[in-house]
Amino acid sequence: MTLQTPSRHPGALVARVGHAPLWAAGLIWLAAGAALTGWLLILLSGTAWQPVPVAAGTAVAVEPVAVARALGLDGSPGAAGPAADTGARLRLAGVVAQPDARGAALIAVDGQPPRPFLVGSAVGDGWVLRAVERRRVWLSPTTGETGDLELQLQR
């Protein structure tokens, strides 16, 4: 029984592992050197940085009726009525509901920051906060129009 000692020859390790790690290390060092050379050339050139010019965009003509039909609106564009107009102007941001039919709601009107409204108070033009529930509120028109408007919290 004879013991063999591992070879101390440097080529023996390369023969067992292969040349792939050596090539990978060489490519990494080559990329690092190229990047360093590029940055040095930019910094030593002495020219000022100039922004890239941006081409002016062209205006796109949009047909609201065609967009509404594509999004699923049935009928003519005016068929939605004033409640749909108001629903687009109002956004429910928060609700404080109480069991005794009192409460308040945070409602944003026309993109303004949300303001608190108590049940029974006027909201926007021609609407009154009628009822408050956990995740929704109802508005009633102050004029002779019929139909309540329901706003729900966005998730």
pLDDT at position 30 is: 96
The rounded distance, in Å, linking the Cα atoms of 120 and 78 is 29
pLDDT above 70 for 130: yes
Percent of the chain with pLDDT over 70: 75
Model pTM score: 0.44
Q: Which CATH number fits domain 81-152: 1.25.40.10, 2.30.30.830, 1.10.10.60, 3.10.20.30?
A: 2.30.30.830
pLDDT at position 78 is: 46
End-to-end CA distance of the chain: 78
pLDDT above 80 for 44: yes
pLDDT above 60 for 81: no
pLDDT at position 154 is: 78
Two tokens at 147?
Answer: 């139909």
pLDDT: is 89 or 26 the higher one? 26
Ramachandran region of residue 72, left (φ > 0), alpha (ψ -120 to 50) or beta? left
Band of residue 67 on the pLDDT scale cut at 50, 70, 90 = confident
Band of residue 66 on the pLDDT scale cut at 50, 70, 90 = confident
What average pLDDT score do residues 87-114 get?
83
Q: Give the start-to-end residue ranges of the domains of the chain.
A: 17-44, 81-152
- Written as one string, the DSSP assignment of the chain is ----PPP--HHHHHHHH-SHHHHHHHHHHHHHHHHHHHHHHHHHH-PPP-PPP-PPPPP----HHHHHHHTT--S-GGGG-HHHHHHHHEEEEEEEE-TTS-EEEEEEETTSPPEEEETTSEETTTEEEEEE-SSEEEEEESSS----EEEE---
| Residue type, position 56, single letter | A
How many other CB atoms are there within 10 angstroms of residue 4's CB atom? Answer: 5
Task: Give, in degrees to the nearest 5, the angle at Cα 123 between 118 and 110.
Answer: 130
